[in-house]
Amino acid sequence: MRTWLLILLLPILTPGWDGHSRLGLLGSKVAFTATPVALDPAHPSRRRVGRLTYLGGVQLKSPDPVFGGFSSLTVEGKAERRHFTLLSDGGNIVRFDIDAAWRIGARRFAELPSGPSTGWEKRDRDSESMIVDPATGDLSIGFEYANAIWRYDHQLKVVRRHTALPAMHSWHENGGSEAMVRLPDGATIVFVETVLPKLRRTLQRSPGRIAIRFSSDPTVEPNSGFGFVYLPPKTMIRATRRCCPMGASWCSTADSRCRSTSRPS
């Protein structure tokens, strides 16, 4: 009798979990819809915004409460059938196809097989950026909290390699590799989210964003990069030892004006 009483009391006497909540994962039932949306609902025929042409868009909805929070995507294929890969800021993967009539198919849910730390907490899979290597199809993913880049196979099932970049160690733990761009020559640019450069004289925040340009894949050559500041449009910065425009002018580093005088010896 005492044994049965103890068993019945165990759920009551055992304390609940008081640590960090488990990272939410998409369920086994793959269910979501894609509804086409117009660029301008008031004028459905509108297709242009400045120099951009609107090709189309869809609104995704799912009964799964974890669905959403997508931070990056890749698009492959031709107009007849495009293949989409969406990655959330919790490491959840949503894949689907859209044909020329905007019909959706090949729906799939998954999650990253591995990443920084254990994967128990959301910050362990804080994936914010993604680029594809056109030569191999491999995907490189930037993790904001860990300031790390991991490279996976095209199916996002196998980890190729990863690195915690030394140049990113000083970045804020929740403001790191927010965006990545792969250039045609194979170089990679990683943009920070929250770290803004300070103006040396006033210690005020400048309007630019800090970034690092790597000559190739950062997971292969993590020390091949150099830092720079990305400035918004219509912003000019002069960072040179000497300014030598036509007329044999020169400019000292302490002076922001180019002087039309003879070059010093």
Q: pLDDT per residue over 75-117, tens digit each?
A: 998 888 999 999 998 899 999 999 988 889 999 999 999 988 7
pLDDT, position 247: 38
Per cent of the chain over pLDDT 70 is 69
Q: Is 0.85 topped by the overall pTM?
A: no
Query: Could you give the count of Cα atoms lying within 13 Å of 239 in the half-sphere of its Cβ?
Result: 5
Contact at 8 Å (CB) between 123 and 152? Answer: no
- Please say if the pLDDT value at position 21 is more than 50: yes
Q: Would you state the torsion angle of the CA atoms of residues 252, 256, 261, 265, taken in this order, to the nearest 10 degrees?
A: 10
**CA 265/CA 185 separation, integer angstroms:** 39
**Among 64-78, 88-102, 199-213, which stretch is predicted with the lowest mean pLDDT?**
199-213
Q: Which of 10-14, 65-69, 150-154 has the highest mean pLDDT?
A: 150-154
